[in-house]
Amino acid sequence: MNKRNIFLSLALAAVLQGQAVVKLTHKGSDYRLTVNDEPMLILGGELSNSAATSVADIDSVMPRMQKLGLNTVFVPAYWELLEPIEGTFDFTLVDEIIHQARQHHLKVVLLWFGAWKNSMSCYAPEWFKRDTKRFPRAMTANGKPLEIATAFSPNVLQADKKAYSRLMEHLAETDSKENTVIMMQVENEIGMLEAARDHCPLAEAAWKKEHAKSDEEFQARAYARYVEQIAGAGKKIHHIPVYVNAALDSRNRKPGEYPSAGPLAKLINIWKAEAPSIDIYAPDIYDTGFKKWVAQYKRNDNPFFTPETRLSTNSGVRALYCFGEVDAMSFSSFAIDKADRATTAPVTAAYKMIDDLKPILLKKDLKRWGLLFSQQDSDVERIIRDGDNILKADHYYTLPWDPRAKNGTPWPEGGAIVIRLAADEYLISGSGVVVVFQTSSEAAQANTKEVRGEDGFIEQGKAGSKPATVQKKFQGQRLGIVSCDEVSVRKDGTLSYIRRLNGDQDHQGRHVRIPCGEFKTLHVKLYRY
């Protein structure tokens, strides 16, 4: 037995003995990631594409990621640098990534930039790129070759699988005890560009045999089968969770205008049938309509997990929304290493809040909701029905006395996690939101909206003002606020009091609110009268 096989045998034995394990488990639609028997919520950031191409860059970036409050860094592993000469492998960069991550108490998700990165074969080795006869390219219908290795070539598959498998062997040898690398992404944003499907001779031969319903479905099956070979081989060597990510079919583009046939929401069933080794299908969200994309990827058979979102000052509240609304497993923004402090500060604040809330969020029996509001939302108000309680939530700038509500200032997004701790008791953790509490009978009888100033009195006497609407006799009970406290959360999930906010800060018991730009956790107790 050679040295490498001995290492692999020892690594496998360690896993079988339960010394170190990364598990993705689920009961129904509830998914949980555990690393070395500890449950984990991934508070991540993805490095820019070239951030890990040298030891010096890796050594520079990892300490900064820790300071930003991340617990996980998404880092590319480049085929061209891993196997610069065919059959000769260099793990210097991978080893440095792992070393620096351990030094700074970070976990790593490795992104395999193999045959495809954003559809293209730009990170394939030189020896692969130059040998187009052995490793043929995809083609358009008119025979134009593309910078995309064809998924129909056995040679392409075997070369890619060999390199990926060797990487997994190395991880088994060096990381099976600590599990610094907790997950693998196979390829990156797979999909055909310029055409809905591949038309090279190998693809045309397959097309004649398969009789697919559409070009995109045909190509999706080919990509999924290819990825299954890669992921399945890797899992036999080092069994950690594996996912694929999708560039979205947004802006009314046609297949080929967006990366056709990738793991899109509309194609997940096809991918699942052809690639059972893939654990998660993940969206890369860069377009408008954030909540819409989140909803498409949270399924009973798929946890919500995003490796890439557009990084902005709104990223913090979007993370809160995901962990509250769809019980997210991961949130991560792209190119976080290139951003300035003003952009990353909301992410750091939100991640601190989510990490503090972790012992509560992991209690699957507690009801929770996510809030996310933007100026462009058509449905700014969110109505949460919790038994007889109605929670009406809005953007903070819907309050009339803040000058930024009306002076043309662009609204930052507001968002929060709402958690029901007990009957008439809630946690609201977020920024830029206001929440009103009503009984269902009270809400049903509310047929007028009163505009109030900061002093709490209805504005009167203005020219053209209408007299108050005569209302029927009130029936039932109302919800009042016993207390609204700003709190922090201890490691054991208990609450630590900071200050009481029963005055101006909750509009004398009319609502609870968190201003834009501030990240707070509020503990709210209610009563009926």
CATH code (residue 267):
3.20.20.80
Predicted pLDDT of residue 409 = 82
What is the span of the domain harbouring residue 131? Answer: 20-364
Residues 215 and 329 in one domain: yes
Range from 209-213, 264-268, 476-480 carrying the lowest mean pLDDT: 209-213
The pTM of the full predicted model, rounded to 2 decimals, is 0.92
DSSP codes joined into one string, 299-367: BTTB--B-SEE--STTHHHHHHHHHHHS--SEEEEETGGG--HHHHHHHHHHHHHHHHHHHHHT-TTS-
In the predicted model, what is the mean pLDDT of residues 389-415? 88
Q: How confident is the model at residue 401 (pLDDT cuts 50, 70, 90)?
A: confident
Residues 262 and 152 in one domain: yes
Residue 493 lies in a domain: yes
| Of the residues 349, 364, 379, the one at which a domain ends | 364
Residues 324 and 437 in one domain: no
Residue 420 lies in a domain: yes
Q: Residue 255 in contact with residue 292, Cβ under 8 Å?
A: no
Residue 15 lies in a domain: no
User: What percent of the chain is predicted at pLDDT more than 90?
Assistant: 82
Strand ranges in 41-198 using DSSP code E only, listed in sequence order? 42-46, 72-78, 107-117, 137-139, 145-149, 181-188
- In the chain, how many domains are there? 2
Residues 420 and 349 in one domain: no
Residue 96 lies in a domain: yes
| Of the residues 364, 393, 413, the one at which a domain ends | 364
* Rounded distance between C-alpha atoms, residue 360 and residue 348, angstroms: 19
Predicted pLDDT of residue 448 = 47
CATH code (residue 375):
2.60.220.20
| Of the residues 308, 340, 364, the one at which a domain ends | 364
Q: What are phi and psi of 364, to 5 degrees?
A: -65, -15
* Amino acid letter for position 469: T
Residues 269 and 414 in one domain: no
For 168, what's the count of Cα atoms within 13 Å in the CB-facing half-sphere? Answer: 25
Residue 1 lies in a domain: no
Residue 9 lies in a domain: no
Residues 312 and 436 in one domain: no
Q: State pLDDT tens for residues 473-503.
A: 888 999 999 999 999 999 999 999 999 999 9
Question: Helix crossing, 315-325 with 290-297: angle to 10°?
Answer: 30
Residues 409 and 289 in one domain: no
Residues 49 and 136 in one domain: yes
Check pLDDT > 90 for residue 1.
no
Residues 277 and 388 in one domain: no
DSSP codes joined into one string, 189-222: S--BSSSSS--SHHHHHHHHHH--SSHHHHHHHH
Q: What is the average pLDDT score of the chain?
A: 92
Predicted pLDDT of residue 404 = 80
Residues 499 and 401 in one domain: yes
Q: Residue 372 in contact with residue 293, Cβ under 8 Å?
A: no
Residues 431 and 313 in one domain: no
Check pLDDT > 60 for residue 447.
no
Residues 288 and 418 in one domain: no
Q: State pLDDT tens for residues 62-90.
A: 999 999 999 999 999 999 999 999 999 99
Residue 94 lies in a domain: yes
Q: Residue 311 in contact with residue 408, Cβ under 8 Å?
A: no
Predicted pLDDT of residue 378 = 58
Residue 497 lies in a domain: yes
